[in-house]
Amino acid sequence: MELYLQFGWQMTPTCLRLLGEWGAGTVILSPRDLDPPHLADAAERIRAAGGKVLVDPQLYTPHETNFRLSKHSFWPGCTGVCDVSALEWGKTTRELRRLNTSLGAHMQLLPGVICSRPEDLAGWRTQLLRVAEADDSKPADSLMTVAVGHQAMADTDTVHAILDALDETPYRNFYVVPEYPPGSFFVADPWWLSNLLDLAAGCALGKGTVVVGYCAQQMLVLAASGVTAVASGTFQNLRQFGLQRFRNPESDTKQRAKWYYSPPALSEYKVTYLDVAARRGVLQTLHPGPGFPTTTAERLFTAPAPMSAPFSYPDAYEHFLICLRHQAMNATLSTFSVTVAALEQELDTALQVADSAAYAGVRGEHKQFGPGAHAASMSALAALRADRMPILSRAWPELPVEKSM
């Protein structure tokens, strides 16, 4: 499974540094954060660094006129709540095709409004089919956006109906954008997480490219669904999708402290807590361990005290993305059963490491992987195994996913 970079405000330097280090990669550009000239500049620099470009139109709520998004030429007129006419979708898809061509996009992300609640399903399906009808590109060259609100995602019947509607289109490549349950960094709702894995698996069984956007470390479990890639970024609002960021352009979450990501704990810790870990003799348990790429976070483990080590905000972001990419690339294994077993082991280990550190006084606050997230993740994997194991096991060799042996 790959890691795509979810572009956010002032992320161009981070993307270029990571692409230079990796020698390849894909960046999903954000028209919400880049006006047309800056989109062109970012795309050119990313491609020059060896990266591929995708452009997310971010047309989740077209009736809400975000001034940063609506100034782009592809923004449609909207007659009601998420109600865009077939004529307007035709104009939008033509403008998007022109934009993607000018930016040298690897594939085209087609727009998709959000299905916020179960009662919105009929209107969402109408918009989906209008977009499909308006698009005259080859389906193999496009990814259909599937944006699902947290209430709709928690309803199993709605998720199954969404998959049925997708089967009515000619597309087999999908960009899944799940709205997270409000109020927490980790998802502790087993129904939401189980339905996300089922939705992703249903898309992946079309044997096309499936990308899930706005992912934090808990979403490594999506490897069991056979997805091609997860996408993530720097700030929390690029690791958890929420509509507020698109309704209010000034609502970005500002990170007030530097966080260190500990891959074995699937948790993040303020650097001040690493000093506590050093004094209590548990610092090394939070180290990425052998096999992970070396990052500037290594300074935290070699300095006399972690707080004395030079570790900037960009260092923290890049460490997180480098480690998450390594975990993602090693998450999809040779068979479905082996992949699920390895993910379950990773979740068990993470809870043990995080609990052990917390017992010593080292706490990740809201970014500490805890019993609720562990239980929901294990439950979702068990449900996926019960519902999809035969068909996923048969399809596994044919899924277009990089598998680690």
CB 265 within 8 A of CB 357: yes
Taking the C-alpha atoms of residue 324 and residue 335, their distance in angstroms, rounded to an integer, is 21
Q: What angle do CA 219, 402, 328 make, to 5 degrees?
A: 30
pTM of the model: 0.96
Q: What angle do CA 308, 313, 317 make, to 5 degrees?
A: 120
CB 80 within 8 A of CB 63: yes
Taking the C-alpha atoms of residue 96 and residue 198, their distance in angstroms, rounded to an integer, is 30
- Under DSSP, the state recorded for 137 is S
Taking the C-alpha atoms of residue 18 and residue 22, their distance in angstroms, rounded to an integer, is 6
Question: Of 3.40.50.10860, 3.40.190.10, 3.40.50.1360, 3.20.20.70, which CATH number belongs to 2-247?
Answer: 3.20.20.70
Counted residue by residue, the chain has a size of: 405
Taking the C-alpha atoms of residue 51 and residue 16, their distance in angstroms, rounded to an integer, is 9
Residue 194 has what pLDDT? 98
The position carrying tokens 């948790």 is: 267
Residue 135 has what pLDDT? 95
Q: What residues contact residue 276 under an 8 Å CB cut-off, 6+ apart?
A: 360, 361, 362
The position carrying tokens 């180290």 is: 287
Helices 190-204 + 156-167 axis angle, to 10: 10
Closest CA to 31 of 61, 62, 73, 72: 72
Residue 249 has what pLDDT? 57
Label residue 70 exposed, middle or buried (CB < 10 Å: 0-12, 13-18, 19+): middle
Q: Would you list the DSSP string of 356-389? A: HHHHTT---GGGS--HHHHHHHHHHHHHHHHHHH
Domain ranges of the chain: 2-247, 259-394
Residue 361 CB neighbours (<10 A): 12
Per-residue pLDDT tens over the stretch 200-221: 999 999 999 999 999 999 999 9
**Cα-Cα end-to-end distance for the chain:** 12
Q: What angle do CA 111, 115, 117 make, to 5 degrees?
A: 165
The position carrying tokens 């720097």 is: 234
Q: Give SS3 for 167.
A: helix
pLDDT tens for the chain, residues 1 to 405: 999 999 987 889 999 999 999 999 999 999 998 989 999 999 999 999 999 999 999 999 998 877 788 889 999 998 888 999 999 999 999 999 999 999 999 999 999 999 999 999 999 999 999 999 999 989 999 999 999 999 999 999 999 999 999 999 999 999 999 999 998 899 999 999 999 999 999 999 999 999 999 999 999 999 999 999 999 999 888 999 988 877 765 555 555 678 999 999 999 999 999 999 999 999 999 999 999 999 999 999 999 999 999 999 999 999 999 999 999 999 999 999 999 999 999 999 999 999 999 999 999 999 999 999 999 999 999 999 999 999 999 999 999 998 886
Residue 67 has what pLDDT? 74
